Amino acid sequence: MATLLPFRASPFRSGSSDNTGDARMPSQTTPQSEKFISIEGIARRYPAPGGTSTTVFENLWLPMRRGEFVCMIGHSGCGKTTVLNILAGLEAPSEGVVIADGQAIEGTSLDRAVIFQGHALLPWRTVLGNVAYAVSSRWRKAGRAEVEARAHKAIATVGLAGSEHKRPSELSGGMKQRVGIARALAIEPKILLMDEPFSALDALTRGTLQDEVRRICVETGQTVFMITHDVDESIYLADRIVLMTNGPQAKVAEIVENPLPKVRDRTQLHHAPGYYALRNHLMDFLVTRSKTLRDAMPPGYDQRHPPVIRPSLSDADTAALLGAEAPALRA
């Protein structure tokens, strides 16, 4: 079900997202061409005491388009990392299947790079060694010079030039996180899976890396699935924001289409009136609706086709967000 909300005239309301009034669009399913990644009815259950089981989520459906940047938001424990691990092929779903680029995911692949919530670096290898190891796994026939050149480039991208020969134990948490980002970027995956990749970084480094990662993903056409707890980060980075209700038995409450243009001007973001309506909607979800919706989904809710919220920006908002440097993109 798709919902079109003109941003200024119809700010988001709390409660069900199915509140379209006159602006309602017809129900629709996602065309096959838009399903570069397709999460199809997956469940994850863990054994619980007494021979029972706990259901983290079940019957979860989510399509992702080729080249889109998807952020998932939801409270701790709702199953975000579990979804990411299943996308990575590190965990198998208890039920259901995930299709990526036409094939069911049955294990890990170098087409899918993961930036973990923990850093998951090899402690005995240096920064260069960690990144080069990934590069040489990706390009097995590459010579040492090429491998190191690719690794150096990725290390420089995350601002760690000069630290190539340090080992993880000599790095701060934020530096380790940046090595993880460099390692993922270096292998130029088709799909980038990121679990709170910027959470340990100071504000300045976070902003710089968000810009870099978004630039690289837009330029290379990578498809990105990223988990974040940071609402502003999701608005800045995502094309679509997936909102998960609280667990257990978490659900995709809705999918919010980000109306911001593909090329974004960070300095103008907060000046657009539409920005705050979107931000308030996401905050309201985290503060209230993530719990109320877990307890009672609105009538007509269909897990297979979660409501899609499509806010629209006014021309003035769009122009402000594009900035004066990118007039061609307004057409």
Ligand X SMILES: Nc1ncnc2c1ncn2[C@@H]1O[C@H](COP(=O)(O)OP(=O)(O)OP(=O)(O)O)[C@@H](O)[C@H]1O
Closest distance to ligand X from the beta carbon of 104 (Å)? 21
247 binds ligand X (CB under 6 A): yes
- Tell which positions 48-87 bind Mg ion, by CB under 5 A: 81
Minimum CB distance to ligand X smaller for 80 or for 152: 80
Closer to ligand X by CB, 244 or 322: give it.
Answer: 244
Picked from ligand X, Mg ion, none, the partner binding residue 77 (CB below 5 to 8 A depending on kind) is ligand X
Q: What is the DSSP letter of 250?
A: B
Residue 291 Cβ, how far from Mg ion at the closest point, in Å? Answer: 18
The correct pick among 35, 80, 150, 281 for binding ligand X (CB under 6 A) is 80
Assess whether the previous peptide bond of 298 is cis (omega < 30° from 0).
no
| Contact between 11 and 277 (Cβ < 8 Å) | yes
**Considering only CA atoms, which of 201, 151, 148, 203 is closest in space to residue 176?**
201
Rounded least distance, CB 293 to ligand X, Å: 16
The C-alpha angle with vertex 70 and arms to 64 and 73, in degrees rounded to 5, equals 125
Side chain identity at residue 258, one-letter code: N
- DSSP notation for 79-140: SHHHHHHHHHTSS--SEEEEEETTEE--S--TTEEEE-SS----TTS-HHHHHHHHHHHHST
Minimum CB distance to Mg ion smaller for 81 or for 222: 81
**Rounded to the nearest whole angstrom, what is the least distance from the CB of residue 299 to ligand X in the complex?**
27
**Residue with Cβ nearer ligand X (79 or 93):** 79
Q: Which is nearer to Mg ion, 44 or 150 (CB)?
A: 44
- Residue from 3, 38, 82, 136 binding ligand X (CB under 6 A): 82
Contact with ligand X (CB under 6 A): which of 81, 126, 228, 290?
A: 81
Q: Which residues on adjacent β-strands are paired with residue 223? A: 191
In the list ligand X, Mg ion, none, the entry touching 247 (Cβ below 5 to 8 angstroms by class) is ligand X
Q: Which helix (DSSP H) or strand (DSSP E) does residue 279 occupy?
A: helix 273-284
- Please report, for the chain, how many H helices and E strands are present, in that order: 9, 12
115 is a contact residue toward ligand X (CB under 6 A): no
Residue 98 CB, nearest distance to ligand X (Å)? 15
Residue span binding ligand X (CB under 6 A) among the ranges 71-79, 208-216, 268-276, 318-326:
71-79
Helices (H), 158-202: 173-186
- The CA distance from 212 to 172, in Å, is 20
Selected range binding ligand X among 23-31, 77-85, 233-241, 259-267, rule: CB under 6 A:
77-85
By CB under 6 A, is residue 76 in contact with ligand X? yes
**Cβ neighbours of 137 (radius 10 Å):** 11
- Applying CB under 6 A, which residues contact ligand X? 46, 56, 74, 76-82, 117, 247
The residue ranges that bind Mg ion (CB under 5 A) are 81
